[in-house]
Amino acid sequence: MSERSALAVRNRHVPSVMTTDVLLVGAGIMSATLGSLVKNLEPDWSIDVFERLDSPAQESSGPWNNAGTGHSALCELNYTPQRPDGSVDVSKAITINQQFQLSRQFWAHGVTQGVLGDPRTFINAVPHVSFVHGEADAAYLKARYEALAGNPLFEGIQYITDRDEIARRLPLMSAGRPDDETLALNWSDGGTDIDFGALTRQLLDSLERQGGNLHYGHDVRSLKQNSDSTWTVIVKDRQTGQKTRVNARFVFVGAGGGALHLLQKSGIPEIRGFGGFPVSGQFLRTTNAQAVAGHHAKVYGKASVGAPPMSVPHLDTRVVDGTPSLMFGPYAGFSPRFLKAGHLTDLARSVRPDNLMSLMGVGLNSMPLTAYLVKEVLKTRNQRVKGLLEFAPSIDGDDFELITAGQRVQTIRRNGMSGTLEFGTCTVSHADGTIAGLLGASPGASTAVAAMVDVLETCFPSRLDAWRPRLLDMMPSYGTDLMKDTTLLSDLRRWSDKTLRLTPEDQLA
Ligand SMILES: Cc1cc2nc3c(=O)[nH]c(=O)nc-3n(C[C@H](O)[C@H](O)[C@H](O)COP(=O)(O)OP(=O)(O)OC[C@H]3O[C@@H](n4cnc5c(N)ncnc54)[C@H](O)[C@@H]3O)c2cc1C
């Protein structure tokens, strides 16, 4: 019996009535992170995780369902938009980078405490690179470099236009291009590739060792608040059909694409007006040794016109279960499901009187996006490979297989009489702090720690003073603007690099 199915069987029996302090819906990176934080802060609180599938991290947090980029805004051009005057707005990049510093510290702390195992099982150093061609985009990349170069969070970033140097660093992307084509890179050695599935499993295993209860194959069906503010949550065993009534003091809906439905069912007013727009995706992947040896970087290009920001093409070195591979994509598409293992009726079931206007408004304003998605869905394998070859002309497309990525549900938020389609993540919580959930996808798993700290701050304000020393122990830069404390930043970066085995010496070992 595999380790995973043993885990599922071990947790099969659940009584028909039970109580818990903290109920986490879903066994993805968000619930795993929140469970780990809470166990650290309140070791005596009971924690129960209910996951509808038979093992953890099978949806977006699974290693092949996302791109595994440790998003810290080193290479993603959608985080550094160009202003009309040609200058570059780096404010979003700074926020995301600071959030990622918290993740690095939390994971490094987890390694020192034995919560996480050998860091090489979930994080590896891989340069992060922005890549453009043509004079106009090269000018933008130069302006981006100039805006970031003096910032301590982006220390070491380089701007490279020399064709020989580009050929040395990115041979598969350089060969086969016209000699007179202008190419430009922003290169950062401090990037990472992360197996968020392995990270999720390790966090949950540790939670279980510390007394948390993991219940796989259990679907959370409904949530209702009681007069004493606790929640009655109905959970169904998908194998036996048995229903369990759980009384919980606090509920976190970490159900990924399933979060919108559950928050709607909870009836909290804060979810009114929210809707979801599902976007499916595919990647091309190869483990061919020659291709893998020819490319060591995560290289992000520019999104094509009309394409949503999450469709930016990128060619990535991936390390999953110790095996390196290359992945290209994502190719966006449309499916009405909200989870990979969801239902065709998911989108229809999310439509409510309170979000109808938001959905219709976004529908009317998103014609270019819809047209783009339709075009993407209709692409043949050859057309997809053509996209790869435009990015890396000398790569052999035959080496690549097409895999289905995770399902994203982009958040639609009410905006007056209409709605806005958002591409980030947001947390929604009830005013009394007894329930919270996470909507949206990007930057997602990389910033799970900041997102879950935000949940704690919003839902448990009266506990924060007592928790601060433990929070600082787990994340020494908690509450500090690292741009203003560069000594702390470089100390923490050195410490987390060493602990997470991200130094050049460690990576060669
Ligand atoms: C194509 C793609 C590429 C991405 N690339 C990156 C990247 O490079 N870097 C990055 O940081 N992030 C990336 N992301 C985002 C990242 O994967 C997600 O933000 C993150 O994994 C979400 O974690 P989660 O725990 O909220 O959800 P999930 O991992 O989806 O977990 C939710 C869990 O809840 C369970 N569930 C749902 N409904 C119920 C219910 N009713 N009862 C019980 N269980 C339920 C599901 O089965 C699932 O296991 C990407 C996402 C996609 C789709």
193 lines ligand 1 (CB under 6 A): no
The whole-number pLDDT of residue 2 equals: 43
Cα(87)–Cα(417) distance, rounded to whole angstroms?
33
**Within a domain: residue 16?**
yes
Which residue type sits at 176? G
Residue matched to tokens 């409510």: 352
Mean pLDDT of 7-19: 70
| Nearest atom, ligand 1, residue 53 CA | 47
Which residue type sits at 271? I
The whole-number pLDDT of residue 3 equals: 47
| Nearest atom, ligand 1, residue 59 CA | 30
63 conformational bin, left if phi > 0, alpha if psi -120 to 50, beta if neither: alpha
254 lines ligand 1 (CB under 6 A): yes
Residue pLDDT, tens place only, 243-293 = 999 999 999 999 999 999 999 999 999 999 999 989 888 999 999 999 999
Cα(310)–Cα(99) distance, rounded to whole angstroms?
19
Q: Is the pLDDT of residue 302 over 80?
A: yes
Query: 247 forms bridges with which residues in the sheet?
Result: 19, 232
Cα(410)–Cα(366) distance, rounded to whole angstroms?
13
Residue 21: give the domain boundaries: 3-453
Residue nearest to atom 21 of ligand 1 (CA): 61
E strand or H helix at 57 = none
Which carries the bigger pLDDT value, residue 500 or residue 419? Answer: 500
DSSP state of 63: T
The whole-number pLDDT of residue 154 equals: 97
Cα(49)–Cα(21) distance, rounded to whole angstroms?
11
183, 335, 339, 397 from 377: Cα distances, Å? 30, 9, 18, 19
Nearest Cα residue to 140 out of 123, 116, 159: 159
The whole-number pLDDT of residue 112 equals: 98
Mean pLDDT of 107-113: 98
**Within a domain: residue 474?**
no
256 lines ligand 1 (CB under 6 A): yes
Contact partners, residue 457, CB within 8 Å, separation at least 6: 464
Are the CB atoms for 148 and 90 separated by under 8 Å?
yes
The whole-number pLDDT of residue 360 equals: 85
251 lines ligand 1 (CB under 6 A): no
Ligand 1 center to residue 256 CA distance, Å?
A: 5
Ligand 1 center to residue 28 CA distance, Å?
A: 6
Are the CB atoms for 262 and 268 separated by under 8 Å?
no
46, 447, 480 from 42: Cα distances, Å? 9, 22, 23
195 lines ligand 1 (CB under 6 A): no
Q: Is the pLDDT of residue 10 over 60?
A: no
406 lines ligand 1 (CB under 6 A): yes
The whole-number pLDDT of residue 12 equals: 58
Are the CB atoms for 65 and 406 separated by under 8 Å?
yes
The answer to which of 63-67, 395-399, 502-506 has the lowest mean pLDDT is 502-506
E strand or H helix at 103 = helix 91-112
Outline where DSSP puts E strands in 369-452: 401-404, 408-415, 418-422, 425-429, 435-440
Residue pLDDT, tens place only, 405-428 = 999 998 998 888 888 888 888 999
pLDDT confidence of 305, banded at 50, 70, 90? low
Q: Is the pLDDT of residue 156 over 70?
A: yes
pLDDT confidence of 357, banded at 50, 70, 90? confident
Are the CB atoms for 444 and 463 separated by under 8 Å?
no
| Nearest atom, ligand 1, residue 219 CA | 42
The whole-number pLDDT of residue 9 equals: 44
Cα(357)–Cα(105) distance, rounded to whole angstroms?
42
Are the CB atoms for 298 and 317 separated by under 8 Å?
yes
The whole-number pLDDT of residue 423 equals: 81
What CATH number corresponds to the domain at position 410? 3.50.50.60
328 three-state secondary structure: strand
**Within a domain: residue 507?**
no
**Within a domain: residue 471?**
no
| Nearest atom, ligand 1, residue 405 CA | 1
Mean pLDDT of 487-500: 97
Cα(122)–Cα(107) distance, rounded to whole angstroms?
10
| Nearest atom, ligand 1, residue 67 CA | 8
- Report the number of secondary-structure helices (H) and strands (E) in the chain: 17, 20
Residue nearest to atom 26 of ligand 1 (CA): 256
In 150-280, alpha helices (H)? 163-169, 171-174, 196-209, 259-266
- Output the CA torsion sign for 339, 342, 345, 351: negative
Query: 413 forms bridges with which residues in the sheet?
Result: 420
**Within a domain: residue 198?**
yes
The answer to which of 141-150, 362-371, 423-432 has the lowest mean pLDDT is 362-371
40, 42, 45, 382 from 37: Cα distances, Å? 5, 9, 12, 46
Ligand 1 center to residue 59 CA distance, Å?
A: 5
Domain count, the chain: 1
Residue-wise DSSP of 334-373: --S-SSTT--TTHHHHT--TTTHHHHHHHHHHTHHHHHHH
Which carries the bigger pLDDT value, residue 374 or residue 161? Answer: 161
Residue pLDDT, tens place only, 64-89 = 999 999 999 999 999 999 999 999 99
Mean pLDDT of 128-154: 96
The whole-number pLDDT of residue 491 equals: 97
**Within a domain: residue 485?**
no
Ligand 1 center to residue 88 CA distance, Å?
A: 31
Nearest Cα residue to 225 out of 461, 26, 462, 431: 431
**pLDDT over 90, % of the chain:** 82
The answer to which of 43-47, 222-226, 393-397, 439-443 has the lowest mean pLDDT is 439-443
Outline where DSSP puts E strands in 264-311: 275-286, 298-300
The whole-number pLDDT of residue 498 equals: 97
Q: Is the pLDDT of residue 8 over 50?
A: no
Which carries the bigger pLDDT value, residue 425 or residue 154? Answer: 154
Residue nearest to atom 37 of ligand 1 (CA): 255
Take residue 296 and report the two structure tokens written for it: 């060591």
**What value does the mean pLDDT of the chain take?**
93
Cα(60)–Cα(76) distance, rounded to whole angstroms?
19
Ligand 1 center to residue 446 CA distance, Å?
A: 11
Mean pLDDT of 198-224: 98
Which residue type sits at 18? M
67 lines ligand 1 (CB under 6 A): yes
Are the CB atoms for 199 and 60 separated by under 8 Å?
no
26 lines ligand 1 (CB under 6 A): yes
Ligand 1 center to residue 311 CA distance, Å?
A: 17
